[in-house]
Amino acid sequence: MKTLLPTSTAGSLPKPSWLAQPETLWSPWKLKDQELTEGKQDALRLSLYDQLQAGIDIVSDGEQTRQHFVTTFIEQLSGVDFEKRETVRIRDRYDASVPSVVSDVDRPQSVFVEDAKFLRQQTDKPIKWALPGPMTMVDTLYDDHYRSREKLAWEFARILNEEARELEAAGVNIIQFDEPAFNVFFDEVNDWGIAALERAAEGLNCETAVHICYGYGIKANTDWKKTLGSEWKQYERAFPKLQSSSIDIISLECHNSRVPMELIELIRGKKVMVGAIDVASDTIETPEAVADTLRMALQFVDAEKLYPSTNCGMAPLSRRVARGKLNALSSGAQIIRKELFG
C-alpha cells in the first residue's frame, strides 16, 4: 500500500431501505432466498460505490452482508442454539436475550468467504474485512457447555483463524477483528483476551487489525459514556499488551470522544486507524475538523503509520449523513497529506 494516510471506515455503512429498515441495528432482511442473495450483492456494490466516490482508499463491504457484526457470524456455527435464549448482561452495560452454547462449537462451512470473493471481483483497491473478536463473541452468548469464558474464547479463536485464512486466500488485504469488549473487561483482556486474538490471527500473511471502540451511537452506549467521566482512559489498560502483540493495526475512537490523545503513545510503533469521524452524531464533520483530529494524532503516530478512519460503524446513520462523513474523512486526510508531503 503506497498511499499515504490511507482512509478507511471502521465498519458498517447504512443499508438501503429495500434491503433492511435503515437507521436501525439488527434490522431484519426484507428479501429472502435468491432475492436476498442478490439484494445483498447489490447493496454491497452501492456501498462500495459510495466509498469509491468519496475517495476512500481501503474499502469494505460496508457490512451489507450481515445483520449484526457478531450475531451473523455466530449463526453459521454449530454448537449454538438460537432457540434456547437466556438473558445476560452484555459488555457489563445492558441486558439482552442471547442464544446459548449447548455443545462443542465449530464452523461447518465458511461464513463470509463468498461475499469477500464478490467484493474482490468489484475493485482493485485494498479491501478490509471485519470479523468479531473472540472475547466480544463470548460476551454475546450464554454458555451452558464450556462454562468458562476463556475456554470458549479459545474455541472461537480457532474457528476465526480458519475463516481468516480463507478470507486471506480470497484476496482480503486487511482482516479486522472487532473487540469492543476490550474496553470493558480489562483483567480478562490481559489474562487471555489478547492471546486469544493473536490465535485468531495466527499464520496470516495479510495485515491484521483490531478495532476497539465505545460502540455505536445507540442509547445503551451513550448512557454508558455519560458515566465514564471527563477523561476516558479505558484504552490505557489494554494498550501496553497490544503494543507488544502480533496485531499490525489498532483501530480507535478519537474524534469527539473524551479519549486523551496521548494514550496513543502507548502503542507507538503500531499502525493506528485514528477515528476522526463521530458516528454518534448526525452532524457532518468539516474537513478542517477531521484534519484537526489527525494533526493531534500525529504527535503520537508516525505519519506513515496513520490511517484516518471513522470511530465505529455508520449503520445507524442515514445514507446522506454517512456519505457526507465519508467525504469529510477523505477531504480532511487530503489537507494533512498536503501539509506533510506537499
Positions touching Zn ion (CB under 5 A) are 213, 312
Q: To the nearest whole angstrom, how small is the minimum distance from the Cβ of residue 295 to Zn ion?
A: 23
Q: What is the DSSP string of 15-55?
A: PPTTTB-TT-TTPPBS--HHHHHHHHHHHHHHHHHHHHHHT
Nearer to Zn ion, 170 or 252 (CB): 252
Q: To the nearest whole angstrom, how small is the minimum distance from the Cβ of residue 216 to Zn ion?
A: 7
Nearer to Zn ion, 44 or 277 (CB): 277
Nearer to Zn ion, 164 or 209 (CB): 209
Task: Find, among 275, 261, 291, 73, the residue nearest to 167 by Cα.
Answer: 73
Q: What is the DSSP string of 157-171?
A: HHHHHHHHHHHHHTT
Nearer to Zn ion, 176 or 245 (CB): 176
Q: To the nearest whole angstrom, how small is the minimum distance from the Cβ of residue 169 to Zn ion?
A: 26
Query: Residue 98 has which C-alpha cell?
Result: 442471547
Q: To the nearest whole angstrom, how small is the minimum distance from the Cβ of residue 253 to Zn ion?
A: 7
Residue 326 neighbours by CB under 8 Å, 6+ apart: 9, 50, 51, 54, 56
- Relative to beta strand 306-309, strand 271-275 is parallel
Determine the Cα–Cα distance for residues 29 and 22; give it in Å rounded to an integer. 11
Q: To the nearest whole angstrom, how small is the minimum distance from the Cβ of residue 211 to Zn ion?
A: 6
Determine the Cα–Cα distance for residues 309 and 295; give it in Å rounded to an integer. 13
Nearer to Zn ion, 30 or 68 (CB): 68
